[in-house]
């Protein structure tokens, strides 16, 4: 993997506040053109990483690149096509939505001025753009924050906990917007502790725990279980339980309502198990591989490392 395939790369990135290490030796790779979830408990170091990438705080050690540009040396060019919302979008509340965009567009450059109206239209705020931001709801502020990111036709959007405070309709809308942005070839890097949302929105993810990177990669790879569990719906379940307990392809068994859950010792053993159950006169009406959710995987990994659920 190189700068050509990764839009964000870090090596040994570390941030200390006094004796406390908040981010420790982080080697992160964010592939281009993906929705990338950055997962971690509250206080795991997610926001600190984003703040370092955006030049809001200096790292204590390590290296980082955005779009192949070394930070902080090439900060201006690296961030020229990066839109970001850190923690929550902030605005001058006495100004209107449109005026707030004018403030940032002035800093971004002449071309950004021409993108104000399209950006407002894109996030559905054209009609309310003339109202003061202090009258906006949380969802509208979030959308205005995204509009601010779109002033520069961003290659990369970095969104910190973007679903916080949104109602279910707002979350759905936001998810759709992220997918649209990715479909346009942009990379959306979003940090969250809402695992379900990351699973529904992202293509790849990284998991950080106590400042250390625990896992990263495509979601399918992160979710791929080291073991294969299968739930079998059958009748009578107690007979099936006894039979499967002694089966060579089964590592462990547990009873579930209306059936048995098994852990396979061989992934190719399902067909023989099914045949054996049917041969023994047991009615099998469901064979279902058990997939771990990101939440289960996250808790499994972070618990293993951190020792805390």
Instruction: Enumerate binding residues for another protein (CB under 8 A).
Output: 51, 54-57, 75-80, 82, 84-86, 89-95, 99-100, 102-110, 113, 148, 152
Looking at beta carbons only, is 57 or 225 nearer to another protein? Answer: 57
Shortest Å distance, C-beta 295 to another protein: 30
Mark residue 215 as left, alpha or beta (left: phi above 0; alpha: psi -120 to 50; beta: remaining): beta
Shortest Å distance, C-beta 46 to another protein: 16
Q: Which one, of 54, 55, 45, lies nearest residue 14 by Cα?
A: 45
With the CA atoms of 162, 40, 77 and 6 taken in that order, what torsion angle do they form, in degrees rounded to the nearest 10? Answer: -110
Looking at beta carbons only, is 3 or 69 nearer to another protein? Answer: 69
Cβ–Cβ < 8 Å for 211, 22: yes
Cα 272 from chain centroid (whole Å) = 38
The widest CA-to-CA distance across the chain, in whole angstroms, is 77
Shortest Å distance, C-beta 62 to another protein: 18
Shortest Å distance, C-beta 79 to another protein: 3
Q: What b/e readout covers 50-72, taking b as 16+ CB neighbours within 10 angstroms?
A: bbbbbeeeebeebebbbbebebe
User: Would you state the structure tokens that stand for residue 40, as one six-digit string?
Assistant: 């971690």
Looking at beta carbons only, is 90 or 245 nearer to another protein? Answer: 90
Name the 3-class secondary structure at 82. Answer: strand
Shortest Å distance, C-beta 23 to another protein: 14
Shortest Å distance, C-beta 94 to another protein: 5
Looking at beta carbons only, is 101 or 208 nearer to another protein? Answer: 101
Q: DSSP assignment of 128-139, as one string? A: GTTSBGGG--HH
Looking at beta carbons only, is 112 or 207 nearer to another protein? Answer: 112
Cβ–Cβ < 8 Å for 28, 53: no
Looking at beta carbons only, is 75 or 239 nearer to another protein? Answer: 75
Cβ–Cβ < 8 Å for 205, 189: no
Shortest Å distance, C-beta 104 to another protein: 7
- If one counts every other C-beta atom within 10 angstroms of the C-beta of residue 191, the result is 25
Looking at beta carbons only, is 86 or 182 nearer to another protein? Answer: 86
């Amino acid at each position: 993997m190189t700068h050509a395939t990764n839009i964000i790369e870090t090596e040994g990135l570390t941030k200390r506040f006094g004796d406390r290490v908040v981010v420790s030796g982080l080697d992160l790779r964010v592939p281009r053109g993906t929705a990338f979830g950055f997962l971690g408990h509250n206080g795991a170091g997610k926001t600190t990483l984003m703040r370092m990438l955006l030049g809001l705080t200096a790292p204590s050690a390590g290296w980082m690149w955005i779009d192949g540009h070394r930070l902080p040396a090439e900060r201006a060019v690296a961030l020229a096509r990066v839109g970001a919302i850190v923690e929550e979008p902030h605005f001058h509340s006495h100004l209107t939505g449109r005026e707030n965009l004018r403030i940032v567009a002035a800093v971004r450059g002449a071309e950004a001025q021409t993108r104000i109206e399209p950006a407002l239209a894109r996030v559905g705020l054209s009609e309310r753009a003339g109202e003061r931001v202090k009258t906006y709801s949380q969802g509208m502020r979030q959308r205005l924050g995204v509009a601010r990111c779109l002033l520069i036709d961003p290659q990369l959007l970095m969104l910190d906990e973007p679903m916080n405070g949104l109602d279910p309709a707002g979350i759905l809308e936001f998810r759709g917007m992220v997918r649209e942005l990715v479909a346009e070839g942009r990379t959306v890097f979003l940090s969250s502790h809402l695992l379900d949302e990351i699973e529904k929105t992202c293509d790849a993810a990284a998991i950080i725990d106590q400042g250390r990177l625990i896992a990263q990669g495509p979601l399918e790879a992160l979710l791929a279980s080291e073991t294969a569990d299968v739930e079998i719906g059958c009748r009578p379940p107690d007979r099936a339980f006894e039979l499967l307990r002694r089966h060579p392809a089964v590592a462990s068994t547990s009873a579930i309502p209306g059936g048995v859950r098994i852990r396979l010792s061989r992934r190719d053993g399902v067909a023989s198990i099914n045949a054996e159950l049917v041969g023994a006169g047991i009615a099998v009406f469901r064979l279902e591989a058990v997939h771990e959710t990101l939440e289960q995987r996250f808790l499994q990994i972070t618990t293993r490392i951190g020792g805390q659920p």
